[in-house]
Structure formats: structure tokens, C-alpha cells
Amino acid sequence: MFDNCKAVPTPMVKTTKSDSAESGKVDTSFPYRQVVGALMFLMTGTRPDLAYRVGCLSRDLNKPSAADIVRVKRFLRYLSGTLNNGITYKPDSSPGPLECYSDADVAGCTSTGRSTSGVVICHAGAVISCLSQKQAIVATSTTESEIIAAIEATKEIIWMKRLFCDIMTLRHTPVLQVDNSAAIKFAQNPEFHRRTKHIDVKYFFVREKVIDRSIEICKISTEHQVADVMTKPLDTVRLAYLCDRMGLS
């Protein structure tokens, strides 16, 4: 059905609250669940750039509307133009550190007000682990949403370190790169608490791992934040740049 369709440069465009409200009636004729399942399989295997989009499409599996059908068809048109994209790793005789990124799109879900966490870990020139997940609570500040994302990244880094210890020796402490200065201060400085008293104690986990030197955390510019691709719809140029940073070619 989509063999000769016109390709589009991005899999998703940003929607507004009015778009969500006018989503239309439920459409049961299109095999929506099966298509999203196939896209999820592709995303898990070789296309991490699809993670955020698949997550958004999965929110309406039971009662997809006409607007949801339009979105998934656009997704398929994007895939038709990027069929040859895949992860390419580069051999390196002296392996460098894990490249770790975390980001959050504050209140990205217009129906619940919840943020989306994005995590990307790269090694040998390409992504080896990624995460795009709607947060379990409504974050009341940018700092809180970024800390929640950093927590997920920290847990993934600890697991990756244990895995790598069975394969090779990591010569460098993994550095988590975050584009929010307040979140970095929260993780590094136990005295920085004036505006973060409302943040749950369990989110101090990232601070604990920084103190015991399991990880380091540093500032990265938003322009170079690779995890941005896991949190929101992007324009053509931005999407292409971040896919290249993840080793998708």
C-alpha cells in the first residue's frame, strides 16, 4: 500500500492541544495495533531514532482516532524514504569512554502534562542503548523533569558498566551530559536545595552516584544534546544531525 508513496523528511510534526481535542472519531478499520507493533520491532532492532514517535503512537492502541491513523501513515511515509538507514559502528583499537546523554521535554504530553525522558548512550561511534519514556509523575519544574531523566540515564549507565566489565576494561568514568545547569548543580552540590525541596528523595540517587564517582555529570549545549531526539518532534535539519551523531547512516 505504501510502496510508491511520497516520502516525508520527518516522522512526526508537533501537535497542539486543539489538535488533540479535534482528533475525530474512533477508526477500527485500519490495523493500527499491528502497524505500531511492527514499528516497535523495527525501533528496538536498528532504528533508535523512532523511539519517541513509536511511544506517542502507542498511547492510543485501544481506540485510535482518524487523526492517529493520519499520524501513523506519515510515519510509514518517513520510513519509505529512510529504508537504508541503520546503525554503523566504527572499530577502535583504544576504546574511548561511554558517551551518555539525558534530556527531558517538560510537559510534552498535552493530555496529562507529563514530561518525556530521553536517554542515549553511545560507544564505538554509534548508539548502544536508548530510552524514550513518559515520566510517571507531573514534574513541577524543568529541573525536576531533567533530574528524573538523569536518574533513568544513571541506572542505564550503571548497568552498562557492569556489562562492559565482563567484556573489556573501561578506562574512563562515564560522563552524563545534561543541558540544564540547575539539574547539574542539584546532582553535584548537596547545599543547592532552595528551589528543589519539593523533589522526591528517591531522585537523589543521581547525586549519590556522582559523589561515589560511579559517574560524572557535565553541561552540554542544547544544540549538541543527542537525547533531544528521544523527547520531542524535530525539524528536518535537527533530526538529520542527531541521527548522524547516533551513528545512523
- Judged against a pLDDT cut of 70, whether residue 193 lies above it is answered with no
Average pLDDT over residues 113-124: 94
**Is residue 190 very low, low, confident or very high in pLDDT (cuts 50, 70, 90)?**
low
The residue behind cell 520510513 is 79
- Measuring CA to CA, which residue among 105, 78, 71, 46 is closest to residue 230? 105
- Measuring CA to CA, which residue among 76, 73, 98, 64 is closest to residue 216? 98
Average pLDDT over residues 212-235: 95
Of residues 98 and 28, the one with the higher pLDDT is 98
* C-alpha dihedral sign at 31, 76, 47, 17: negative
Joined grid coordinates for residue 99: 558517551
- Measuring CA to CA, which residue among 183, 185, 165, 186 is closest to residue 174? 165
- Judged against a pLDDT cut of 60, whether residue 1 lies above it is answered with no
- Judged against a pLDDT cut of 90, whether residue 97 lies above it is answered with no
- Measuring CA to CA, which residue among 9, 2, 75 is closest to residue 42? 75
Of the listed ranges 13-22, 47-56, 114-123, 234-243, the one predicted with least confidence? 13-22
Q: Report the pLDDT value the prediction gives residue 24, as an integer from 0 to 100.
A: 59
Average pLDDT, whole number, for the chain? 87
Joined grid coordinates for residue 245: 551523531
Q: Report the pLDDT value the prediction gives residue 20, as an integer from 0 to 100.
A: 54
Instruction: Identify residue 144 by its one-letter amino acid code.
Output: E
Joined grid coordinates for residue 187: 546532582
Separation of alpha carbons 35 and 7, rounded Å: 18
Q: Report the pLDDT value the prediction gives residue 140, as an integer from 0 to 100.
A: 87
* pTM reported for the whole predicted model: 0.89
- Judged against a pLDDT cut of 60, whether residue 243 lies above it is answered with yes
pLDDT tens per residue across span 141-176: 898 899 999 999 999 999 999 998 888 777 788 999
Q: Are strands 99-105 and 175-178 parallel, antiparallel or unpaired?
A: parallel
Q: Report the pLDDT value the prediction gives residue 110, as an integer from 0 to 100.
A: 85
* Domains of the chain by residue range: 17-80, 99-245
Q: Report the pLDDT value the prediction gives residue 16, as an integer from 0 to 100.
A: 58
**Which is the CATH superfamily of the domain at 99-245?**
Ribonuclease H-like superfamily/Ribonuclease H (3.30.420.10)
Q: Report the pLDDT value the prediction gives residue 204, as an integer from 0 to 100.
A: 80
Task: Give the chain's end-to-end CA distance (angstroms, integer).
Answer: 26
- Judged against a pLDDT cut of 80, whether residue 196 lies above it is answered with no
The number of residues in the chain equals 249
Q: Are strands 175-178 and 216-219 parallel, antiparallel or unpaired?
A: parallel
DSSP, collapsed to helix, strand or coil, labels residue 65 as strand
